[in-house]
């Protein structure tokens, strides 16, 4: 926006009053939109630092009435929270890596128009988008494969999503074939072309798909509940759900008076604990979006 | 050269792809064939034991249920919903395993997804030996899938006489046959479960400082006294800010509006109640409710009701907290069970949830709570929501135990030992005194580290399988129950008398329920005249209410015989 004003002031015609008002309105609108997007986040952040008794009484204000770390101490002191974090991170990294490898591995051949049996392979892929085996057969399959209580039960079933493959394939197809041919003339193998030529120009789509996979792995917990029996293998989301339940238990007597932290504060603190890492990762991935889009593969 | 090379490259890729997919297919196929081959073998096992059972003498029939000495049973156990999974080496779990000479395989099913998760495992032919269900419908579902074993009452009486006696006692006290919860087609399939706190009605609380300000010395008891206080709350500026900005009351919990007011007229509108002639009737269509609605309508026009009553008093947090009351908008509320409103020591160190929240918001401004009761109506009727002792929850056992009757006997003995004896119950629920908790003057303090759950130490909900009424609580926290007896008096009439879901419920209920809620609000706010109540009753009966009432009466008759 700065540069826009800059240009106008020096080279453009003199800025009229109405134009300034117009710009002002735009700026105000943008501010309102960004505020309405930021507000819920700040609201939750503020509440998470609030003391239990005042958490519901602060009205619209973002700052808590009384500051307190009680919500965080409740969440971060809980058992299995750190193993949960570790499991989630391992699962996210491994799951995304496997997911990307499998999806790209399927998408690249499919993007070639002269692939034998291409239609059949595409059909088989698309079919999985509409007809899935269902939860029970999947459970039985995982059980009989002996994957209970292993990380593979969480990363393998979700490794290949037809939708992701189609998106990647479409991106590959939009890359000019001349690039492939040039590589082949230079003696590059099919695999070599993929790694040395295609992938480097596909960073935008890879960044997008990875982000989807990261978020999906980060948030999922139901599969873990189904396939994991050992609490040491539980992912963060399950641990956090348990903490929320525990903060809201009614008179089981198993909770001491000090532990009777208001459920609300714990909820807000939980939201921050669960989303902070993803929020922090996002700007770094966003960098690749921009870079990838700006880097044209064919110049001139 | 170029072409050929190109072609082979593509073909290698295709080959890779196809072989990968074939491998996937093969894995799937081999698993399914294993699956199908395992099913017949298990069914042949069960059929081979059938001839052996035959029709033996009655004593012999029970004899096969006697646990074998020295045999270590492995029990798949799913008790009350646990908050966390129990580790295999949890301290108290090892204690019980040694004591009973068994191995517990503790199932962990997450509470919020209980049915979903359990159903997947049932579909995969996994079922715990013992499982607690949340109601007769769930039990019925297991029965339909042929998962649960029949548990004749005589057998239960033989193996676990204390449990049997408790169910009989509760049935007598409550005036309702508790076995109806677990009865399917004339046979018994489990043990009904109870809730001791369900004996008591919701308590009412008042702003003591408001009452004093408007010159009322004693906490109002009758409906007339309530009305006088309510009018003063609205007209005499009890908060002293010079503005007419206070109301007397709001609806309470949004799903249970004005319960204490309706209670003064003898019914809770959304509950089924027992009638004097031994039948059962739906509260909302009783003629007394017309008077209650007329009164509420008058209060609404006089400005006693918070006009925002439709959305309830709670705005987040625990449902029992009335924000209208805490923020000084209203001066009376009946929004939760007795323990949330209880001051210390009855409500614990800081008092119940609602009490503590109120105190925290009004530390030094002289605002005070006084506990009262639901109003006494013109005919002397009085009460509010009562959850009821018979919850509909129950305990059932796996059909697989038909092959191991001695194991069923062992499990029943364990349930009885754990849940029907004070010392064992305390150990199973709270751990070891002095190590996991300490008791001082009826105040229990947990000694396990913050942020850990009781399950990690092997106690808490999971081992609580049968929630009988043994008054164990009265022994270690008498203040809590004294308070309950004083303010939340035992009054049978205000709990839902219908424990099962009626056959035609799915056909009519949604519409009837919607109609009732709408009409009630319309009459209170004056959008429809009070006389419209008669039309409502007619419509309600016509649109399926009559059929449901008949079904409910059939059910109650069947349980009484």
Give B446's contacts (C-beta < 8 A, 6+ positions apart). A254, A255, A256, A259, B436, B437, B454
C-alpha A165 chain-centroid distance: 17
**pLDDT value at residue B18:** 54
- In a domain, residue B347? The reply is yes
ipTM of the complex model: 0.73
Tell me, yes or no, whether B539 and B477 share the same domain: no
- By residue count, chain B amounts to 561
**pLDDT value at residue B289:** 95
- Print pLDDT tens along chain B (561 aa): 344 445 455 555 555 555 555 554 444 444 444 433 333 333 334 333 344 444 445 566 788 898 988 899 999 999 888 878 898 899 999 999 999 999 999 999 988 888 889 989 998 889 999 999 988 888 988 999 999 999 999 999 999 999 999 999 999 888 888 998 898 888 999 999 998 888 888 989 999 999 999 999 999 999 999 999 999 999 999 988 888 899 999 998 888 899 999 999 999 999 999 888 888 999 999 999 999 999 999 999 999 999 999 988 988 777 888 989 998 999 999 988 888 888 888 887 778 888 888 888 888 888 999 988 889 999 888 889 988 899 889 999 999 999 999 999 999 999 999 999 999 999 999 999 999 998 887 778 888 887 788 888 999 889 988 888 888 888 888 888 888 888 887 666 788 888 888 889 889 999 999 999 999 999 999 999 999 999 999 999 999 999 999 999 998 887 765
As a whole number, the mean pLDDT across chain A is: 83
Q: What are phi and psi of B205, to 5 degrees?
A: -130, 150
| Residue B508, domain extent | 202-385+502-561
**pLDDT value at residue B422:** 93
CB contacts of A184 in chain B (<8 Å) are 2, 5-6, 9
- In a domain, residue B22? The reply is no
**pLDDT value at residue B19:** 55
C-alpha B537 chain-centroid distance: 30
Domain boundary among B444, B472, B493: B493
CB contacts of B35 in chain A (<8 Å) are 140, 144
Number of C-beta neighbours around residue B196 at 10 A: 17
Tell me, yes or no, whether B430 and B485 share the same domain: yes
C-alpha B83 chain-centroid distance: 16
The CATH architecture one would assign to domain A72-298 is: Orthogonal Bundle (1.10)
Tell me, yes or no, whether B175 and B107 share the same domain: yes
Give the domain CATH number at B256: 3.40.190.10
Q: For the segment A44-98, what is each residue's pLDDT rounded down to a tens digit?
A: 898 888 887 676 665 667 788 788 888 888 888 888 889 999 999 999 999 999 9
Domain boundary among B451, B476, B493: B493
Number of folded domains that form chain B? 2
Asked whether the beta carbons of A289 and A270 are under 8 A apart, the reply is no
Tell me, yes or no, whether B375 and B266 share the same domain: yes
Rounded average pLDDT over A110-115: 90
CB-CB under 8 Å, B453 with A254: yes
Distance from CA of B169 to the nearest CA of A (A): 24
Interface test with A, best of B34, B87, B108, B110 (most A CBs within 10 A): B110
Across the interface, of A80, A189, A264, the residue whose CB is closest to B316 is A264
Convert B61-111 into a string of H (helix), E (strand) and C (coil).
HHHCCCCCCCCCEEEEEECCCCCCCCCCCCHHHHHHHHHHCEEEEECCCCH
| Exposed / middle / buried, residue A298 (Cβ in 10 Å: 0-12, 13-18, 19+) | exposed
Tell me, yes or no, whether B245 and B342 share the same domain: yes
**pLDDT value at residue B50:** 40
Tell me, yes or no, whether B393 and B381 share the same domain: no
CB-CB under 8 Å, A263 with B121: no
Tell me, yes or no, whether B435 and B466 share the same domain: yes
Helix or strand run (H / E) with residue A231:
none
- In a domain, residue B441? The reply is yes
Going by C-alpha positions, the residue among B73, B151, B131, B38 that lies closest to residue B410 is B73
CB-CB under 8 Å, B14 with A115: yes
Tell me, yes or no, whether B86 and B209 share the same domain: no
Asked whether the beta carbons of A70 and A55 are under 8 A apart, the reply is no
Say how far apart CA B167 and CA A165 lie, in whole Å: 60
Beta-ladder partners of B222: B376
Q: For the segment A230-281, what is each residue's pLDDT rounded down to a tens digit?
A: 888 999 998 888 887 776 654 433 334 444 556 778 888 888 988 888 888 8
Number of C-beta neighbours around residue B218 at 10 A: 9
Say how far apart CA B14 and CA B33 lie, in whole Å: 28
Residue A144 banded pLDDT, cuts 50, 70, 90: very high
Tell me, yes or no, whether B208 and B347 share the same domain: yes
Q: What percent of chain A has pLDDT over 70?
A: 83
Tell me, yes or no, whether B265 and B379 share the same domain: yes
The residues of chain A that CATH labels 1.10.3720.10 are 72-298
Distance from CA of B446 to the nearest CA of A (A): 5
HSE of B115, CA atoms in CB hemisphere, 13 A:
8
Distance from CA of B431 to the nearest CA of A (A): 9
Asked whether the beta carbons of B283 and B268 are under 8 A apart, the reply is yes
Task: State the residue for tokens 């519901």.
Answer: A56
CB-CB under 8 Å, B460 with A145: no
Distance from CA of B301 to the nearest CA of A (A): 29
The C-alpha angle with vertex A93 and arms to A89 and A97, in degrees rounded to 5, equals: 165
Say how far apart CA A185 and CA A181 lie, in whole Å: 6
Across the interface, of B10, B349, B357, the residue whose CB is closest to A114 is B10
**pLDDT value at residue B46:** 39
């Amino acid at each position: 926006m700065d540069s826009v004003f800059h240009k106008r002031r020096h080279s453009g015609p003199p800025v009229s009053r109405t134009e300034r008002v117009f710009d002002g309105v735009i700026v105000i609108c943008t501010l309102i939109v960004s505020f309405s997007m930021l507000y819920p986040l700040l609201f939750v952040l503020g509440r998470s630092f609030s003391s239990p008794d005042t958490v519901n009484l602060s009205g619209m204000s973002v700052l808590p009435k009384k500051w307190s770390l009680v919500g965080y101490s409740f969440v971060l002191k809980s058992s299995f929270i750190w193993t949960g974090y570790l499991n989630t991170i391992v699962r996210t990294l491994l799951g995304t890596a496997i997911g990307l490898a499998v999806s790209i591995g399927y998408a690249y051949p499919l993007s070639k128009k002269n692939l034998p049996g291409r239609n059949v392979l595409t059909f088989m892929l698309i079919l999985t988008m509409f007809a899935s085996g269902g939860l029970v057969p999947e459970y039985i399959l995982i059980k009989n494969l002996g994957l209970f209580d292993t990380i593979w039960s969480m990363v393998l079933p979700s490794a290949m999503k037809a939708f992701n493959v189609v998106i990647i394939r479409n991106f590959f197809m939009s890359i000019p074939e001349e690039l492939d041919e040039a590589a082949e003339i230079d003696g590059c193998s099919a695999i070599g072309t993929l790694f040395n030529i295609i992938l480097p120009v596909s960073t935008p789509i890879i960044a997008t798909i990875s982000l989807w996979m990261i978020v999906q792995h980060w948030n999922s917990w139901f599969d873990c509940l189904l396939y994991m029996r050992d609490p040491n293998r539980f992912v963060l989301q399950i641990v956090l759900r348990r903490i929320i339940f525990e903060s809201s238990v009614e008179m089981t007597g198993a909770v001491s008076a000090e532990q009777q932290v208001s459920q609300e504060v714990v909820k807000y603190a939980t939201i921050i604990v669960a989303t902070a890492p993803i929020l922090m990762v996002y700007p770094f991935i966003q960098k690749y979006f921009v870079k990838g889009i700006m880097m044209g593969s064919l110049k001139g | 050269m170029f072409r050929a090379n190109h072609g082979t490259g593509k073909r290698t890729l295709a080959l890779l792809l196809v072989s990968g997919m074939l491998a996937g297919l093969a894995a799937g196929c081999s698993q399914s064939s294993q699956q199908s081959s395992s099913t017949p073998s298990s069914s042949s096992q069960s059929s081979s034991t059938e001839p052996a059972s035959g029709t033996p003498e009655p004593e012999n029939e029970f004899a096969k249920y006697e646990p074998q000495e020295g045999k270590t049973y492995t029990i798949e156990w799913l008790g009350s919903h646990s908050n966390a999974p129990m580790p295999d080496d949890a301290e108290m779990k090892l204690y019980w395993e040694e004591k009973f000479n068994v191995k517990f395989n503790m199932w962990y099913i997450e509470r919020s997804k209980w049915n979903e998760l359990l159903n997947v495992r049932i579909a995969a032919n996994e079922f715990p030996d013992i499982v607690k269900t949340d109601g007769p419908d769930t039990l019925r579902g297991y029965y339909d899938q042929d998962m649960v074993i029949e548990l004749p009452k005589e057998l239960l009486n033989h193996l676990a006489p204390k449990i049997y006696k408790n169910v009989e006692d509760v049935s007598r006290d409550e005036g309702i046959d508790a076995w109806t919860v677990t009865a399917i087609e004339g046979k018994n399939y489990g043990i009904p479960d109870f809730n001791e706190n369900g004996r008591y009605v919701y308590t009412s609380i008042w702003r003591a400082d408001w009452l004093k300000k408007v010159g009322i010395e004693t906490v109002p008891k009758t409906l007339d006294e309530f009305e006088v206080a309510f009018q003063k709350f609205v007209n005499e500026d009890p908060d002293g800010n010079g503005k007419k900005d206070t109301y007397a009351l709001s609806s309470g919990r949004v799903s249970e509006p004005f319960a204490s007011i309706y209670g003064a007229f003898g019914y809770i509108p959304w509950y089924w109640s027992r009638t004097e002639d031994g039948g059962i009737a739906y509260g909302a269509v009783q003629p007394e409710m017309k008077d209650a609605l007329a009164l509420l309508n008058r209060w609404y026009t006089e400005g006693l009701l918070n006009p925002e009553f439709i959305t309830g008093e709670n705005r987040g947090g625990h449902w029992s907290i009335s924000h209208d009351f805490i923020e000084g908008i209203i001066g009376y509320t009946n929004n939760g069970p007795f323990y949330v409103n209880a001051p210390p020591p009855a409500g614990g160190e800081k008092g119940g949830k609602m009490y503590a929240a109120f105190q925290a918001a009004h530390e030094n401004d002289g605002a005070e709570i006084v506990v009262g009761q639901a109003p006494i109506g013109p005919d002397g009727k009085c009460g509010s929501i009562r959850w009821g002792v018979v919850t509909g929850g129950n305990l059932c056992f796996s059909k697989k135990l038909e092959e191991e009757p001695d194991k069923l006997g062992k499990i029943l003995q364990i349930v009885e030992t754990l849940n029907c004896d004070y010392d064992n119950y305390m150990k199973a629920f709270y751990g070891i005194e002095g190590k996991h908790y300490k008791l001082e003057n009826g105040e229990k303090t947990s000694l396990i580290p913050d942020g850990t759950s009781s399950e990690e130490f092997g106690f808490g909900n999971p081992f609580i399988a049968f929630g009988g009424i043994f008054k164990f609580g009265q022994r270690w926290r008498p203040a809590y129950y004294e308070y309950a007896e004083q303010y939340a008096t035992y009054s049978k009439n205000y709990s839902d008398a219908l424990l099962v879901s009626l056959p035609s419920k799915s056909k009519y209920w949604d519409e009837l329920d919607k109609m009732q809620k709408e009409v009630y609000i319309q009459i209170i706010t004056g959008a429809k005249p009070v006389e419209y109540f008669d039309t409502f009753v007619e419509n309600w009966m016509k649109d399926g209410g009559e059929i449901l009432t008949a079904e409910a009466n059939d059910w109650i008759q069947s349980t009484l015989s």
